[in-house]
């Protein structure tokens, strides 16, 4: 009986290890919507919806939404306070209970320019309220994202970014994201985004495509000429 239990345990461990290894070898994808909707000279609404997959078009991993109120102090500094519900499948190709989160976040954004090169520094403070398998716990994170954008023409531009995650529980720097891609401007309100990035963890690494739509609108009242 002990041998049977041991064999079953080893089989489950082997299956889980194989799933983790195969998920690392897969090219996953993020399908993204990001929006900014100006309601006054200083205030705007930030909206976001991401659907993330272990594989390019299958094996759901995570859905995440954000809604925030942004305040523009000047052309280089702005701040956002927002909320973010998240649902995550914790296992690849294996039935598992979803982890659910409710996040409160604060962003500090600082923009700078060097000729045509635009740099954006984003400091994000996240407070994550997590529930998994009946357990509830809280985590606090700090994230720093450096994003560089360079225009190639009126419609095309390239971007690159690196984001570091700091966790005040467990590992201090558990994640690092690095990526690059292209942006295509359809008009003053709409852009398309295609890119690639790598998610680096302590013992694993994942490659992801980014396919996104960026929508910017302006709801300020127009003066009648």
CATH of the domain at 210: 2.40.160.40
Average pLDDT, the chain: 88
How many separate domains does the chain show?
Answer: 1
Give me 61's structure tokens.
């991993």
Name which residue leads in pLDDT, 94 or 8. 94
Question: For a pLDDT cut of 90, what percent of the chain falls above it?
Answer: 75
More reliable by pLDDT, 10 or 204: 204
The answer as to whether 225 is a domain residue is: no
Question: Residue 222 has what pLDDT?
Answer: 67
Q: Is residue 223 assigned to a domain?
A: no
Kindly state the tokens that stand for 205.
Answer: 């690494």
Residue 211 inside a domain? The answer is yes
Domain span holding position 88: 2-218
Considering the domain boundaries, does residue 224 fall inside one?
A: no
Measure CA of the first residue to CA of the last residue in the chain; give whole Å: 87
Buried b (16+ CB within 10 A) or exposed e, 13-32: eeeeeeeeeebbebebbbeb
Closest Cα partner for 90 from 127, 50, 124, 131? Answer: 131
Q: What is the spatial distance between Cα 56 and Cα 20, in angstroms, rounded to a whole number?
A: 16
pLDDT band per the 50, 70, 90 thresholds, residue 1: very low
Residue 63 lies in a domain: yes
DSSP result, 164-208: EEEESSS-SS-EEEEEEEEEEE-SSSEEEEEEEEEEE-SS-EEEE
**Does the residue 174 lie in any domain?**
yes
- The fraction of the chain above a pLDDT of 70, given in percent, is 87
For 80, other C-beta atoms within 10 Å of its C-beta total 20
Residue 25 counted as domain residue: yes
pLDDT digits (tens, 9 = 90+) for 140-171: 999 999 999 999 999 999 999 999 999 877 66
pLDDT given at position 6: 29
Q: How far apart are CA 11 and CA 127, in angstroms?
A: 37
Tokens of 72: 């523009």
Establish if 46 belongs to a structural domain.
yes
Rounded Cα distance between 63 and 89, Å, is 9
């Amino acid at each position: 009986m002990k041998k049977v239990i041991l064999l079953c345990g080893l089989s489950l461990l082997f299956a889980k290890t194989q799933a983790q290894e195969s998920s690392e070898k897969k090219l996953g994808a993020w399908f993204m919507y990001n929006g900014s909707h100006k309601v006054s000279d200083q205030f705007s609404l930030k909206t976001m919806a991401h659907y993330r997959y272990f594989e390019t078009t299958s094996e759901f991993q995570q859905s995440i939404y954000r809604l925030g109120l942004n305040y523009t102090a000047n052309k280089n500094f702005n701040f956002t306070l927002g909320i973010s519900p998240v649902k995550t499948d914790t296992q690849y190709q294996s039935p598992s209970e979803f982890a659910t989160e409710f996040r409160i976040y604060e962003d500090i954004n600082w923009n700078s320019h060097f000729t045509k090169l635009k740099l954006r520094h984003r400091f994000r403070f996240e407070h994550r309220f997590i529930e998994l398998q009946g357990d509830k716990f809280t985590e606090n994170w700090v994230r720093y994202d450096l994003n560089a954008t360079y225009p190639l023409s009126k419609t095309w531009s390239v971007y690159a970014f690196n984001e570091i995650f700091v966790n005040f529980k467990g590992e201090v720097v558990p994640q690092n994201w690095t990526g690059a891609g292209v942006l295509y401007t359809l008009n003053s309100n709409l852009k398309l985004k295609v890119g690639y990035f790598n998610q680096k963890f302590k013992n694993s690494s994942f490659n992801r495509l980014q396919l996104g739509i960026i929508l910017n609108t302006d709801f300020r009242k127009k003066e009648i000429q």
